[in-house]
Structure 1
Amino acid sequence: MPDAPNELPSLPLQRARFLTLGKSFYSEVTPAPLSKSYRILLNEPLAKSLLIPDSLISSEKAIAELTGDRISATQTPVATVYSGHQFGVWAGQLGDGRAMLLGELRDNDGLQQEIQLKGAGETPYSRRADGRAVLRSSIREYLCSEAMHGLGIHTTRALHLSGSKQYAMREQPETTAIVTRVAPSFIRFGHFEHFYYQGRIDELKQLTDFVLQQYYPHCLSEENPYAELLGEVAIRTARLVAQWQASGFMHGVLNTDNMSVLGLTLDYGPFGFMEAFNHDHICNHSDHQGRYSYRNQPAIGQWNVFAFGQTLVPLINSVETTEQALDNYKSAFEQHWQQLCCAKFGLETVQENDANLFNEFFQLMQDHRADFTLSFRTLSHLKIEKTADDDELFALFSGAQALPDWLQRYRERCQRENRNDSERNAAMLAANPKYILRNYLAQIAIEKAQQDDFSEIDRLHRILQQPFAEQPESEIYASLPPDWAGDLCVSCSS
């Protein structure tokens, strides 16, 4: 039924371009609204960038549309099918088990952005699960995707978070929620694996051509567009993983079905930001072998790109050309990691032995379990001449006898740059965040939300939008984690 003249218009959702691929690639679904759902948080800056009028976004109608309670006649919600390798083992068909693509909105740059619900009920790919997302994991995804955006790391975004007193059974009964997610595309490596491993090469080509036309059109003019696509995906993925490493972020479940073909951070499950530094830290309680540890992320990113590359061999039509495209990963990672390290250490040029200087600092953090974020943030205040800032750094590296020698060599290295203290400090402070989403901060917000107090979610969201700013009124959020935080663990269950 059309809207009455005095009724607000619907969100300007357009039919998703993904649907042009045909029904081999998705199943039409109907969202199952949560019982008596309510808004917890709206990402107002993102809503504005999607050109949603203030008068509409604050309305009950918009809330209904952003949670799947109301589907307009122009919408066709779908769940997409994909397969994948999970923990290095072929898992076969997977698919959007609790995600539904609603449509697309055009942002203020003229780009189409997909709008997806997570937690809106069962789909044909739910595999005997309920298709719901619990409040706990939904809060973590909302906050972390926006924290990553604040850090300048490519990611899906979170537009809206709604909750309900409706329960879902996990290790224990938990209240449920729906996250409304935004990305140019949610296409994963697993979408390509699905058709490749079934020998459905025509559909594989159709999907690949779609991705080329919609997201990599510049590749179409190359001699071998499919090889060019693979090379670009390898570079984007390598740069993304380098960004993760430089921020101390650990994804936790780097399965091929969680890898974006656009190089976005996708699917926030048992993630974590490094605190007391440990190369072998595992943020996922379910990762018993440590496959997705901090140290392993770069190699796993490469493994996943190789898995993606395998699917394109029939289209590239040359193993040698495929391997050449895959070589982009290693060189891109090394180059971007070096650039990021130079920025974190305040260096404009690359000189001999810089890598050794960087590695020695990481080893000092390893030996003394120094806090990753605070170590670099404190180093960002260091002056060429010794000041009280040295004492703050020494406090983080308790008993580090090798630190004075490292600091002397670091200062000598900084003196070989054309930067004074204030210029170097400003550049480092812009590269080393003060605020990250520490597990204990998320846990406090979750526990308050479970008591219907959502103020801490909103406060964290605002702080994490500007992670490099001093924000003196929020100083406590940059503190070392309390002792009880060491007992927190996160698993895949959500």
Structure 2
Amino acid sequence: MRALNSAAYGGSSPREGPTVNTSPNQTQPQLDSQDDATSRIHLESRFANELPELALGWQADTPPNPQLLVLNEDLARELGLDPEALQTPAGIGFLTGTNLPADASPVAQVYAGHQFGGYSPRLGDGRALLLGEVTDATGATQDIHLKGSGPTPFSRGGDGYAVVGPMLREFIVSEAMHALGIPSTRSLAVVQTGRTVIREDPQPGALLVRVASSHLRVGSFQYAKATGDLDLLRRLADFAVARHYPEAESADNPYLALYERVIAAQASLIAQWMLVGFVHGVMNTDNMTISGETIDYGPCAFIDDFTPSAVFSSIDHGGRYKYGNQPVVAEWNLARFGESLLPLLADSQDDADAIAQDALGKFSPQYSEVWSAGMRAKLGLPSSLSAEVAAALVSDLFDILKVERVDYTSFFRNLADAARGNTVPVRVQFSVSEKFDEWLSRWRSLAPDDAAMDRVNPIYIPRNHIVEKALAAATAGDMQPVGDLLELVTSPFEAHHGKQRYTEPAPDDFGPYRTYCGT
């Protein structure tokens, strides 16, 4: 991790990891149009050109004094972008959407969605813009998308801006999820805009530059279906197939194949969330991607102890999106996706309903398969162990964890030590240990693979109390805590000397944790 300083905007040598500006309050030099290395960037406009009914041409607001807070240099290189150029005034102009290639066509996307179960027929990018697509080093297409770039016609009374804390939260958590191997949108940069944004109180404004294989959502299909334009719905489905599941093109029913693949991708994704204790917080249908990537990190959090009823969002009063309900909500969202596809699945309504229902029935077993395999890996169980014995062992363990309220993440790391013979760290996590001691003996008799456990159980996650301290420091102008945290959560399985406090649960005085959607 290397901090930016005023000289670094002119370029730096290649290095690994995000670049963090620890002193962002300097004045940026003016853009020199004669030295604009970003002019060589080619942004495609496939979404805008192929689906103009879902794209509204729009421009980002010009920030009064943009300051680059953090840049993901590794991701920039993967996208074919020059990290040095992105740190120049011209590059920062590109990252804010105000210095784009001449042929770029930024758009605000339109979509619908169920929000907390209630249907909204017209949502869309109220504070976001799709700048365009690039081809990455693997030949895949990736969206470059802004969040917090100013109001659009979809803002619905909002100001269209975002503030430093939530944008850095999304950077930290999305990159942590990527490092954990969980499909996610990525974060390329956070830029402080120099604009004061009013929330509960005045906050420094910022925008996020994020990257995704696309920003197609269940809500995109809901909107297309609601227009009654069958050609638009078919073109959207064809676009999704070509973009994400090209093998579906040769299926007997390509649109059924699309539905089945999205179901499988989401079943796998939600199982991976549950395995690491991640709570999304706002699983509306406009926040569920067709690609199977995690998107829109608003009131997200990681559980400390294993609590299925854990809710962190300040507005989720009924617990709709609580930790333990995420698989149920995902299946409900996928049912809404299936409803949107019905006109493409069969000629008759009855046949289409039956086809969709049969496909959706695969979600639960697919989810269970991924979750069970993941839990076997977390426990280092041998492949020869029967599914019945493994399931009983896991069920008994979670019965204990729910009662004992031990720290979820450190439990599994300490359990690997127990597999190596040192049972003290895991045993001291339990106040009443008789049931756990019996379980521990059963588990150790199976000769669990401690090395395999270390490969899947993280040491470091974005712990809520540490994230909040880092965001508070960044809002006050000190980015060093964010840089320190990013260094750990982007290498979550590697022990770092002297970083024990990043592995510890929240202190008692931290209190109940609440996160907020307002960005």
* TM range, smaller chain: over 0.9
Contact 2:43–2:101 (Cα < 8 Å) also in 1: no
Matched letter for residue 79 of structure 1? A
Q: How does 1:26-425 map to 2 (within 5 A)?
A: 26-317=55-346, 318-349=352-383, 350-351=385-386, 352-383=388-419, 387=421, 389-412=422-445, 414-415=446-447, 424-425=449-450
**In structure 1, what is the Cα distance between the partners aligned to 2:108 and 2:364?**
34
Contact 2:64–2:194 (Cα < 8 Å) also in 1: yes
**In structure 1, what is the Cα distance between the partners aligned to 2:229 and 2:100?**
33
Contact 1:168–1:176 (Cα < 8 Å) also in 2: yes
More off after superposition, 70-79 vs 218-227:
70-79
Matched letter for residue 341 of structure 1? M
Give, in angstroms, the shift of residue 22 of structure 1.
Answer: 3.8
The residue number in structure 2 matching 1:472 is 497
**In structure 2, what is the Cα distance between the partners aligned to 1:455 and 1:432?**
26
Contact 2:148–2:207 (Cα < 8 Å) also in 1: yes
Matched letter for residue 320 of structure 1? A
**In structure 1, what is the Cα distance between the partners aligned to 2:36 and 2:55?**
33
The residue number in structure 1 matching 2:481 is 456
3-state SS of paired residue (1:179): strand
Give, in angstroms, the shift of residue 5 of structure 1.
Answer: 6.8
Give, in angstroms, the shift of residue 163 of structure 1.
Answer: 0.8
The residue number in structure 1 matching 2:23 is none
**In structure 1, what is the Cα distance between the partners aligned to 2:280 and 2:332?**
15
3-state SS of paired residue (1:223): coil
Matched letter for residue 363 of structure 2? Y
**In structure 1, what is the Cα distance between the partners aligned to 2:328 and 2:416?**
29
Give, in angstroms, the shift of residue 121 of structure 1.
Answer: 0.2
Q: 1:11 to 1:266 in 2, by over 3 A?
A: farther
Is 1:490 aligned to 2:519, yes or no? Answer: no
Contact 1:67–1:162 (Cα < 8 Å) also in 2: yes
3-state SS of paired residue (2:120): strand
**In structure 1, what is the Cα distance between the partners aligned to 2:286 and 2:373?**
29
Give, in angstroms, the shift of residue 78 of structure 1.
Answer: 0.3
Give, in angstroms, the shift of residue 11 of structure 1.
Answer: 5.0
Give, in angstroms, the shift of residue 9 of structure 1.
Answer: 4.4
Please give the per-residue CA displacement for 1:325-373, whole angstroms capped at 9, x wherever unaligned: 2122112101101110110000132412211211221221110111110
Contact 2:36–2:91 (Cα < 8 Å) also in 1: no
3-state SS of paired residue (2:282): coil
Contact 2:67–2:192 (Cα < 8 Å) also in 1: yes
Q: Which runs of 5+ in 2 are unaligned?
A: 1-31, 347-351
Matched letter for residue 221 of structure 2? F
**In structure 2, what is the Cα distance between the partners aligned to 1:112 and 1:10?**
19
Give, in angstroms, the shift of residue 59 of structure 1.
Answer: 1.9
Contact 2:463–2:505 (Cα < 8 Å) also in 1: no
**In structure 1, what is the Cα distance between the partners aligned to 2:34 and 2:155?**
40
Contact 1:47–1:159 (Cα < 8 Å) also in 2: yes
Matched letter for residue 395 of structure 1? V
Contact 1:118–1:180 (Cα < 8 Å) also in 2: yes
The residue number in structure 1 matching 2:8 is none
Contact 1:87–1:255 (Cα < 8 Å) also in 2: yes
Contact 1:106–1:112 (Cα < 8 Å) also in 2: yes
Matched letter for residue 501 of structure 2? I
Give, in angstroms, the shift of residue 399 of structure 1.
Answer: 2.0
3-state SS of paired residue (2:150): coil
Matched letter for residue 266 of structure 1? I
Give, in angstroms, the shift of residue 51 of structure 1.
Answer: 1.9
The residue number in structure 1 matching 2:24 is none
Give, in angstroms, the shift of residue 258 of structure 1.
Answer: 0.2
3-state SS of paired residue (2:231): helix
Give, in angstroms, the shift of residue 7 of structure 1.
Answer: 4.7
More off after superposition, 7-16 vs 435-444:
7-16
Matched letter for residue 430 of structure 2? F
More off after superposition, 352-361 vs 295-304:
352-361
The residue number in structure 2 matching 1:418 is none
Q: 1:11 to 1:363 in 2, by over 3 A?
A: farther
Give, in angstroms, the shift of residue 390 of structure 1.
Answer: 1.7
Contact 1:95–1:125 (Cα < 8 Å) also in 2: yes
Matched letter for residue 373 of structure 1? T
Give, in angstroms, the shift of residue 164 of structure 1.
Answer: 3.2
More off after superposition, 375-384 vs 22-31:
375-384
Give, in angstroms, the shift of residue 320 of structure 1.
Answer: 1.7
More off after superposition, 369-378 vs 317-326:
317-326
**In structure 2, what is the Cα distance between the partners aligned to 1:486 and 1:435?**
21
Matched letter for residue 128 of structure 2? A
**In structure 1, what is the Cα distance between the partners aligned to 2:53 and 2:419?**
61
Matched letter for residue 235 of structure 1? A
3-state SS of paired residue (1:382): helix
Contact 1:83–1:190 (Cα < 8 Å) also in 2: yes
Give, in angstroms, the shift of residue 484 of structure 1.
Answer: 2.9
**In structure 2, what is the Cα distance between the partners aligned to 1:441 and 1:110?**
37
Please give the per-residue CA displacement for 1:379-398, whole angstroms capped at 9, x wherever unaligned: 121137xx4x3221122122
**In structure 1, what is the Cα distance between the partners aligned to 2:364 and 2:216?**
23
Question: Please, what is the CA RMSD of the aligned residues?
Answer: 1.6
Q: Which runs of 5+ in 1 are unaligned?
A: 416-420
Runs of 4+ aligned structure 1 residues displaced above 6 Å come to none
3-state SS of paired residue (1:101): strand
**In structure 1, what is the Cα distance between the partners aligned to 2:478 and 2:199?**
22
**In structure 1, what is the Cα distance between the partners aligned to 2:62 and 2:451?**
48
Give, in angstroms, the shift of residue 127 of structure 1.
Answer: 0.5
Is 1:444 aligned to 2:469, yes or no? Answer: yes
More off after superposition, 192-201 vs 311-320:
192-201
More off after superposition, 450-459 vs 187-196:
450-459
Contact 2:145–2:209 (Cα < 8 Å) also in 1: yes
3-state SS of paired residue (2:434): coil
Contact 1:147–1:464 (Cα < 8 Å) also in 2: yes
Matched letter for residue 201 of structure 1? L
The residue number in structure 1 matching 2:26 is none
Identity %, equivalent residues: 36
Give, in angstroms, the shift of residue 205 of structure 1.
Answer: 1.1
3-state SS of paired residue (1:90): strand
Matched letter for residue 298 of structure 1? P
